[in-house]
Amino acid sequence: MSPTGSLATAASPGLLSPHLDGLGVTLTADGGRLRLWSANADSVELVVFDRTDLDWITEELPLAPIGGGVWEITTPSLRVGARYAVRVGGPHTTGVMFNPRTLLLDPYAKGIVAGGVRDWRSAVVDESFDWGGVAKPAVSLDRTVIYEGHVKGLSKRHPLVPPALHGTYAGLAHPAMIDHFHTLGITTIELLPVHMFESEPRLLQHGLSNYWGYNTLGFFAPHAPYATQASRLEGPSAILREFKGMVRLLHEAGLEVVLDVVYNHTAEGEIGGPRSSLRGIDNRSYYRQHADGAYIDVTGCGNSLDTSTDAAARLVLDSLRYWANDVQIDGFRFDLAPTLGRDAAHSFTPDHPLLRAIAEDPLLADVKKIAEPWDVGMGGWQTGNFGDGWHEWNDRYRDRVRNFWLSDVDYARRASTAPVGIGGFATRLAGSSNTFSAERGPLGGINFVTAHDGFTLRDLVSYDVKHNLGNGEHNRDGADTNRSFNHGAEGPTEDAFILATRRKAVRNLLGTLLLSAGVPMITAGDEYGRTQRGNNNSYCHDSPLTWLSWEHAPWQQDLFAHVRRLIALRAENPALRPSRFARLDEHTPSASVMDWYDEHGETMSSERWSNPSHRTMQYVATSTPELEASNRVLLMVHGNERPVEVTLPEIDGVRRFVSLWSSADETPAHDERVFAPGDVVPLVGTSMHLFRAE
């Protein structure tokens, strides 16, 4: 029973209600104060353990109800270094899973330690840290280039990172890694989940593990195995200190840190899974359920956090506030974000109180908020539908760009013509104005061609189908629709023509990504053509298959030079990174006015946009000065495998065109050849060429 004597049914007081303040452990002059929320419990007990023997209980103390579903205790036993758990008792009725003998994690614990397999304890940590006056880099969105990577995989094999730091928080911030980030030119590192997580039993039975980390145990504690051995031996306070040290060093280098956060579900899995925290604290209030207690699973992971309840929504908000302020994180990418925006009827709404609170909270004002705008429930695909203050992974961009350079070309080889013209591709290149509102502009979208989930860029041009047998699911897992193209051979080949065509396809994809309006995201390793041997769902491989290799063939060094050049060109040319959509016959600051020409230098006709036999265009973007000097670029795009000659257009105020980059070059040229309006530029099949218009 709840403190009021019945299951909680009162109207919601709002997720910002003061009665939800101060949950978790707060250190005071009288010791630690623990507050826990459980609307339907009738008893809560604190269990304190010996620091070295986590099976040795030293104290068992009751918490008292203080109203609003909150239970509290203050005790000198809750001091820095203390290991503790809670036990929660309650009624036996549909949808609840109280067991007063089960040891549970505090949902607000900032440290988590293992007592054995699937046996966890919360830990009180020392949160003090000297930031040395280092501030967040605060990179503007138009200049942001995101680099998505894995804490362990990034440095695990780097030869200049000391072995003791391989695959750790400290290793990620080592000078050798920072030098790579600086040389490449990225501004923002997006890390796969770093909240404490565990591997599913099924994976362990197959000798595999959850490498990606989308199986969260606690929303406040950093994942301990990513810390150095020295920090792990010292304990949770040292692990947190190492994490903060990583952030400080990256900030000193001008690099932002964005976390991929998994608030949509937890490691407790489906009914019958572990009762490690929320399920035992108040299952009915924390997880989405039918009236009979069966879970409503919109995540595909067994459970879905019910953010229509104030306490569950507040748990998410408090976690974000902690990481953004106490740990100085620069932004968050929200896994399966529509789940967080589902109401009590389990329908998505962009005005959900939690989504608006995240966007409008002054404590989160300076962080980037990026939604993965889909989950697997009804109405789960919501690209473009998140409100102001949100940015979204643009899967429509991903699919159109892959189609244009890969599956359309494959189709044309079979049918002698591509299935569609260039119009849809041009819309994505110009910022996806058909997806994001004028108020949100092109920066509403995070453009990407690959991500951790799916083929690497090299595999995208090397495989027609997935090769996931190593995952132990008989190749049933992973996406079947990849919009990939192997260019004539499945996987490894020694055919020089196929290899050259694949390399050019990679350059076209990267060129499109880094020259498009919107915020680009590169997947770590794609700058060197990393392969996972056709596995498009490598979540369960903690091995050289997923760790970055730092030994590169000459063609990989050339590819790196292309990516570095493209990122630099993006930074140097504001016309490539508008903050707003231009409006017809209006002066819009920080927009790019876009004009379109065909291969003859004539204005594109409506027939040319849609004709699949004419997949060549010239895209001219002219910046509207606000914070930077005026700038104009011209990008030629040729989308079939026949070579073509392109005539540069006559444009008022343009005397010459300076060559900046071409995807046809194996090594990027820096000669900046000069052309005049009316000159003819030859393009090889499926290629791009960028010019500055002066």
Q: Which residues are catalytic?
A: 335, 372
What letter represents residue 104's amino acid? Answer: L
For residues 474 and 530, the answer to whether their CB atoms sit within 8 Å is: no
**Which residues lie closer than 8 Å to 673 by C-beta, 6 or more apart?**
658, 659
Residue 662, strand partner residues: 689
Query: Minimal CA–CA distance to 309: which of 336, 290, 291, 282?
Result: 282
Question: Tokens 């809750």 — which residue?
Answer: 78
What is the number of other CB atoms lying within 10 angstroms of the CB of residue 671? 6
What order do you get walking across the sheet with 580-581 strand by strand? 580-581, 591-597, 616-623, 632-638, 687-693, 657-662, 674-675
Q: Which residue has the tokens 């060549």?
A: 616
| Contact yes or no for 72/46 (Cβ under 8 A) | no
Q: How far is CA 582 from CA 384, 587, 621, in A?
A: 18, 8, 10
CA-closest candidate to residue 194, choices 237, 150, 244, 159: 150
Place of tokens 């002219």: 622
CA distance 660 to 60: 70
CB-CB contact of 6 with 40 (8 Å): no
Residue type, 130: D
Q: Are 112 and 82 in contact (CB under 8 A)?
A: no
The Cα–Cα gap between 165 and 267 comes to: 28
Sign of CA dihedral 362, 365, 368, 369: positive
Contacts with 520 (C-beta within 8 Å, 6 or more apart), sequence order: 145, 146, 446, 447, 448, 513, 514, 570
Q: How far is CA 66 from the centre of its chain?
A: 39
